Structure formats: structure tokens, C-alpha cells
Structure 1
Amino acid sequence: MIRRIVSVGVVAALLLAGGALSRAAALDAERAAVIAELESVSQSTRTALMRTDHLEGSIAIAEKQTDERASVLEVRPAFLTEIAAFDAAVVGAEGKIDVAAHRAAVLSAQQAVLGERRDPATVAAATATVEALTVRLGEEIATWQASQYASASGPAWSSSGPDGYARVRAALDRVGGQNVGLYESASCAGGTAPACANSNGYIKYRADIAGWSVDRLEWAMAHELAHIYQFRVWGAMTSSGAYGSMFGSDPEFLANCMAVVRGFPGAVGCDAEQQRWASGIWVGAVG
């Protein structure tokens, strides 16, 4: 009997031990599963965070590139304006001077602008380059014209005489027309106009204006000189909407405003906005 009790006790103990071991093994397996799941969740979280960082970085880069391109596009119209002014100057140079070097420089500037997507300073520099080339071209044309007129036979005056011519010439020089040809003629509007400008780059005056007052004579020369600068950008100017709306497409009114900008006002004035626009024509820029 005692042996049987002992045997039952041993079996019970073994069963209890076996159950404990089974539970321990089950707990270990469950703990391992939980740990594996945590590691999986952690990995997923890290992956999601990395993907988020990548997307945020990509968005930031895209936004920066968009802003850069917008800033480049913002300054391109000014470049196109200078290109139009240069083209007009090239037309005026036909048959007078070689523009091959000027064209090559402008072409290089165009290529730089076409290839630029990020830096507006590159476009601004190209714009300044084309503007400088247009001014230089205008100066070379004026020099060529002056040399042509200087070599012409006969005096540049008739009834006004050398003193009258010298007075008109001095007035033209004072308003900035040192390299512009000047001749006396009664042909301006059939003799009804006291002075006129020719699209070839010279000015003619009627003999009687040699006796005008200094102020009136300087205004007349500034007005005619303005027409010379208008001819240099004629195509771009006449196709400008602002020219039509602000000046009624009237080159005489615009010439008056251009004279005002140079400090030589006539009888017809113009407002600040008209003066601002007119000032651009003096530097070959059409707004």
C-alpha cells in the first residue's frame, strides 16, 4: 500500500513537472513570437520613416527647382526685349558695318539663357551683355554715318552760313548728338517743318532755326535726336502695345517725352509713367 502511494506521488510529481515544462516551453515560444512581431513592427516603422524622409527630401528638392525655374522665367522677358532691340540695330547697320562679331556674341548669350534653368543671375548677365552690344552697335553706326557725312563734298549749310551751322551743330552736340550728321535743308515736310531726322541717322534743319533761342534750339535738336534713337528700335517700338496706349502710336509725342527725359522740355509735356517708358528708348529698350 505504501509503495502504491509512493508510486502515485512520483507519477503526480512527474506529471506536474512535465506540465510546468510544457507551460514554460509555451511561454518561451509565445515570448519569441512577440519579440519577432515587435522586431517586424520596428522594421516596418523604420522603413516607413525612411520612406517618409525620402519623400520629404524629394518634395523639398522639387520645390527648390520649381522656385529656381520661376525666378529664371521672371527675368527672361527683359532678355527678349534686349534681343528685339539688338535685332533692330542690326537692321540699321545693314550695308554700313560688319555685325558678325556682334551676332556671335549675342548668339552665345542666347545659348546661355536657353540652357539656364536655375540661376536668374545668368540671364541677367546675358541681358546686360546684349544691351551693351546694342549700345556699341549704335555707336559704331553713328561713327560710320559721321564719317560718311564728313567726307561729303561741299558745305553742310547754304543760307544759314557757317556761323548758323556752327550754332545748330553746337546745340545738337550739347543734347548728346556729337556723332550724328547735320545738314541744312529746306526739304523737311516740303519746308514746313523746321527740322527732321532721317532713318539713315542724320538730321536736317531749316536755315531760320539758326536764329532761335538757345533753349528752343536745344529742344528741337533733342527732339530730332530722339527720332534717331526711335529708328534704331522701330520694329519693336511700333509693335509695342504700350507705345499705342500711352502715346497713341505718335512718334512726335514720344520724341517730345524723350526730350523731356534729357532735360529739354517743349510745349507739350508728358506724365511720369510716359517719361519712364520714353527713357527706355534712349538705351534701346522697348517696354
Structure 2
Amino acid sequence: MRRTIAVTIAAAVVVCGAIVARADGLEADRAEAAAELIALAERTDAAAGRTAYLEGAVERAQDDTADRAAILEVRPAFVAEITALSAALEGAEGKVDTAAHRASALSAQQTVLAERDDPATVTAATATVHALTEKVGEQVVGWQAAQSAGPGGPAWVSSGPDGYARVRAALDQVGGGGVGLYESSSCAGGTAPACANSGGYIKYRADLANWSTGRLQWAMAHELAHIYQFRVWGALNSSAAYRSSFGGDPEFLANCMAVVRGYPGDVGCDADQQAWASGIWVGAVR
């Protein structure tokens, strides 16, 4: 009886051990399966993230392609306008001052080259260049009209076409493109070599055409300064600063204005006087 019980107990112990071992095995399997599930979930999330990124990248690329296509569509019109402006500037060479127009065109060109997204920016730059071309054309027409005759008759009498052309070139060089010019001996009864009229034109005595290039350019810058003075004449003569700094003398002021343009004469101007005189070139009286 005792042996039977002992055998039974031993068998039970063996069975329990097997059960425990089996349970441990199942727990290990469960843990391994859970780990694999977690790893799979992580891989799935990573794949989903990559998919979303790729979808976004494709969408961005498609948008970029559409933007580039829109830019390319409007660029030819800009190129055509730049070509037209280049021709206009070439035709204006030696006739009118085109430095400001060239700078504006260069700025527009740089804007277009840098633009990648907005075709409206290119369209606006195209309109700017077109306006510049029209402006240059208008100035050349004005210059050509000024060549034919002055208010009182022919553009020259004694200085001849070559002398006139030389004075004209000097005036254009200092920024007076389009300003009327003709030969006359009426400036201060013939005692002054040149003078400016409040009507917006300049007269010169015939011998002025024989002056040196530097002196001739200074003379034209000086007379052009008077043209700009006439444009603000009322405000100028009401300015206390004008009276205190220049003694109310338009000739002294014209000399300083010429200095500002880079054409100094015999009369010097200090830095404060030059700074004040520079305002008259842009219509500002302080």
C-alpha cells in the first residue's frame, strides 16, 4: 500500500514537473511572440512614415514642377522686353543719360533669375522693363527734337554742326539729355558764355564749343543746375538755409550742384553745402 502511494506521488511529481516545464515553455513562446509583434508594429509604423514622407515629397516635387513650368511660360516675354530695351539703350548712347535705366533693368533681371515660384513676379518685372524702354524712347525723341532748332531759330549759327554736337554731348554727359540747347549771343548781352532759361532750355555762346572737355562739361553741369533751380524757385528763395549757406546766390549754388554731379569748377563748396545742394537735383529744398 505504501509502495503504491509512493509510486503515485512520484508520478504526480513527475507530471507536475512536466506541467511546470510546459508552462515555462508557453510563457517563453508568448514573450517571443509579443516581442515579434512589437517589432512588426515598429516596422509597420516606420514603413508608414516612409510612405507618408515619400507621398509628401512627390507632392512637393509636383508642386515645384508646376511652379517652374509657370515661370518658364512667362520668361520669354521678359527676355523679349530685355532685348527691346537693350536696343533702345544702344540707340540712346551719346544722346541721353541711361545710367538709372540700366540699373533698374539689371535689378529686374536679377529678380527674374532668382524667382522660382511666383510667375506674377516675372510678369511685373516684364512690365517694368517695358516701361523703361518706352521712357528711353521718349527721351531720345526729346533729344532729337532739341537738335533741330532752338526757340529762336536754328540750333547753331557760328559754332557749326560739329561745335554744336560737342556742346550737346557735354550736356548729355552731365545728365541733360532732352534739355533744349541752342547757340545764342544773348546771354547777358554776350558777356556770359552760357545761360539757362526758366522755360527749360540752355543757350551757349559760339566760342564755348572750343573749351576743353572738362571745362565744357562743368559749364553744362552748372547751367543744368539752374534748370533744376527753376523747378523749385519759389521754395528755394523762401529757404533760410539757402540764404545762410549760399547767400541767396543761385550762381554759387549752381557751382555746388555741379560739384555734387562730379564736375567741380573754380569755386569750392564744403561738405555741408554739397549735401544741401544735392537736394535740389531731386526737387528737395530744406
TM-score (norm 2): 0.52
In the alignment, does 2:73 pair up with 1:74? yes
Q: What is the match of residue 53 of structure 1?
A: 52
The count of aligned residue pairs is 155
Shift of 1:120: 0.9
Higher relative contact order (CA 8 A, sep 6+): 1
Whole-angstrom CA distance in 1 between matches of 2:154 and 2:110: 48
Unaligned runs of 5+ in 2: 156-177, 179-286
- Note the aligned Cα RMSD (angstroms): 1.8
1:84-130 alpha-carbon deviations (Å, 9 max, x no partner): 11111112212210111111100111111111111111111110000
TM-score normalized by structure 1?
Answer: 0.52
2:41 alignment counterpart: 42
1:143-158 equivalences under 5 Å are 143-151=142-150, 153=153
Unaligned runs of 5+ in 1: 156-178, 180-287
2:126 is aligned to 127
In the alignment, residue 133 of structure 2 is paired with which amino acid? T
Matches within 5 A, 1:6-21: 6-21=5-20
Deviations 1:185-232 (A, max 9, x none): xxxxxxxxxxxxxxxxxxxxxxxxxxxxxxxxxxxxxxxxxxxxxxxx
Tell me which amino acid in the other structure corresponds to 2:31. A
2:94 matched to which residue of 1?
95
Alignment of 1:1-287 (within 5 A): 2-151=1-150, 153=153
Q: What CA distance in whole angstroms lies between the structure 2 residues aligned with 1:47 and 1:154?
A: 88
1:233 match: none
Contact 2:67-2:116 within 8 A present in 1 as well? yes
Off by >3 Å, runs of 4+ in structure 1: 152-155
State the distance in 1 between where 2:5 and 2:154 align: 152
The Cα shift of 1:150 comes to 3.4
Look up the SS of the partner of 2:117 in the other structure. Answer: coil
The percentage of aligned residue pairs carrying the same residue is: 51
Residues 28-47 of structure 1: per-residue CA shift (max 9 Å, x gap)? 11111111111111111111
Write the distance in 1 (CA, Å) between the matches of 2:49 and 2:75.
Answer: 39
CA distance in structure 2 between the aligned counterparts of 1:76 and 1:154, rounded to whole angstroms: 47
Q: 2-side partners of 1:154 and 1:138: how far apart?
A: 24
